[in-house]
Amino acid sequence: MPVIFVTDSLIFLLLFGLVAFFFYARKQEHLSAPWRDVKKRSLAMSSAVVLFFFVFLGVLDSLHFHPKVETDKKSETIYSNEILSVLDILLNDLRLKNEKTYSAPLASYSFSKELIELESGKKIRDYPRLVYGGATLSNPENESRADIIKRISFGLLYGLLISFIVINLIIIILSRSRNETYTTTLHNCLNKKTNTHWFSIFLTISVVLIAIAILYNLSKNYHVFGTDKVGQDVLYQALKSIRTGLVIGTLTTLVMLPFAIAMGLMAGYFRGWVDDVIQYLYTTLNSIPGVLLIAASILLLQVYISNHADDFNSIEQRADLRLLFLCIILGITSWTGLCRLLRAEALKLREIDYVQAAKAFGVRDYKVMFRHLLPNVMHIVMISIVLDFSGLVLAEAVLSYINIGVDPSTYSWGNMINSARLEMAREPIVWWSLSAAFIFMFILVLAANLFSDAVRDAFDPRLREL
C-alpha cells in the first residue's frame, strides 16, 4: 500500500518539472546551445553520471509503502505499520543485518569486549564474533583477508562484466539513433570525437558499477563501513542519507526561486516604492542571523508538533514534516542573495534598447518583464541553483550538529556525524561513521561543484557569442 510523504510528492513534482523544462529548452536556442557546450566537457559529464546515480538512489528512496504482512489468511491483506521504500527493499540485507553494537569495517569481531562464556564454562572478556559480519568464516583471523580479497576480485569482475554490457547497450542505441554502424559509433566515442563526451561517461559508469559490484559482494559477508552504536550497518545509513541531502539541496531552491525571481525583477524594473519595499524586506531578513531564524522556526515546529501530536500518523511523517519545514525555512533565509543579483541585473536591463523598444510599442509591463527580462536573467538563476546545491548539502551537516537540522530519526549525514562526534573521545576511536558520511558528502558535493562550474562557464554571456 503506497504511502506518499509530502517531500516525496514534491520530489516527483520537481522531476516532472525538470523533464518538462528539458523538452522546452530543446526548442529554445539560447538555452540548448549552452547545454551542448556542457555536454562536451569531460569533467562535467563524469560529474553528471555520478549525480545521476545519486539521484537514482534518492528517487528509489522516495517511493514509500507499507509492506504486506505475511499471514495465513488468504482473504485479508494486512499491512504492517512500518513504512519502507523501494531502496529499503533493494538493501534489505543491509537493513536487517544488525549487530549489537560497534564493529569496525570489514571486521568479524565486535568492537567492544564482552563477557563470553566458552564451551568449557569459563567466562572471559573478549571480542565476540559478530552475528553477520564474517559469519561464513570459521576462522576469521586467518581466513578473512583472503575472503575479502576474493570478494573484491569477483566484485571487480562482475562490475567489469556489467559495465561492458551496459556500455555496449548504450553504444548500440546510439548507433541506431544516428544510423551508424556499431563500429563507427564505438570508434567515435573512444576517440572523443562525439558531441557529447561519451568517453568520460563510459569511464565513469564503469567505475561506479565496479564500485557498486565490489560493495555488493563485500556486503554479503561483511559490514563494509562497520556498524554504529546500535549495530546498524553504516553503509546502509550513508545510502539512506542521500535522499535527505538531495531533498535539502533541491527543495529549498524550489521554495525560494519564485520569490527571488519575482521580487528581484520587480524591484529592478519598477523602482520607486516597489523597490524600496522589497529592499526593506530583504535587508531586514538578511540582518537576522540565519542560524537564529532557522533555530526559532524549528522550535516553532517542534512545539506545534507536540501540541497537535494526534494529527500525525507516524514518526516518519513527523520527521518528514520537519524536513519539509527545514527546506522552507532555508529557502526563506536564502532568497535574498539571488534577489539582490536579479535586482541589479533588472536595473541594467530595463535601460537596454530592446526593452525601451518594447515600451515604445506600448507592450504592457508584465509582458516586458516576462518576455525580455526573465529569459535574459535565466543564466544567473541557473548558476545560482547549481551553486547553492552544494552549499545546502554541507549546511545540513552543520545544522544537525547544532540540533536545528533534520529530525534525529531521519537518516542524514549530519546526524551520522553528530552521533559519531559525541563518541569521539572513545579509545580506540570510532572513525568509520564519520568517514562514511564525509566520503559520501564529498563525492556528491564535488560532483555538484564540478558540474556547476561547467554550467557557469557555459552560460556566462560574456563567454558566449550571444
Q: Does position 463 bind another protein by CB under 8 A?
A: no
Q: Residue 385 in contact with residue 253, Cβ under 8 Å?
A: yes
Which of 71, 92, 181, 403 contacts another protein by CB under 8 A?
A: 403
Judged by CB under 8 A, the stretch of 5-13, 111-119, 231-239, 290-298 that binds another protein is 290-298
DSSP codes joined into one string, 371-433: IIIHHHHHHHHHHHHHHHHHHHHHHHHHHHHTT-SS-TTS--HHHHHHHHHHTTTSSS---HH
Query: Within a 10 A sphere around the Cβ of 341, how many other Cβ atoms?
Result: 17
**CB of 366 vs another protein, minimal distance in Å:** 13
**CB of 394 vs another protein, minimal distance in Å:** 5
- Residues contacting 190, CB < 8 A, separation 6+: 199
Query: Within a 10 A sphere around the Cβ of 344, how many other Cβ atoms?
Result: 14
By beta-carbon proximity to another protein, the closer residue of 13 and 429 is 429
Q: Does position 193 bind another protein by CB under 8 A?
A: no
Q: Does position 398 bind another protein by CB under 8 A?
A: yes
Which of 70, 72, 141, 465 contacts another protein by CB under 8 A?
A: 465
Q: From CA 18, how far away is CA 24, in angstroms rounded?
A: 10
**CB of 112 vs another protein, minimal distance in Å:** 20
Q: Does position 434 bind another protein by CB under 8 A?
A: yes
User: Between residue 442 and residue 461, which ones bind another protein under the rule CB under 8 A?
Assistant: 442, 445-446, 448-450, 453
Q: From CA 439, how far away is CA 430, in angstroms rounded?
A: 15
Fill in the per-residue mask, 306 to 345: x = in contact with another protein (CB under 8 A), - = not in contact. ----------------------------------------
Residue type at 372?
A: H
Q: Does position 303 bind another protein by CB under 8 A?
A: yes
Q: Which secondary-structure segment (H or E) carries 2?
A: strand 2-3
Residue type at 6?
A: V
Closest by CA to 3, choosing from 327, 407, 314, is 314
Which of 78, 124, 161, 402 contacts another protein by CB under 8 A?
A: 402
Fill in the per-residue mask, 360 to 389: x = in contact with another protein (CB under 8 A), - = not in contact. xxxxx--x---xx--xx-------------
Closest by CA to 11, choosing from 242, 228, 275, 247, is 247
Question: Which residues are at the interface with another protein (CB under 8 A)?
Answer: 28-30, 280, 283-289, 291-293, 295-297, 299-300, 303-304, 352-354, 356-364, 367, 371-372, 375-376, 390, 394, 397-398, 401-404, 417, 421, 424, 429, 434, 438, 441-442, 445-446, 448-450, 453, 465-466
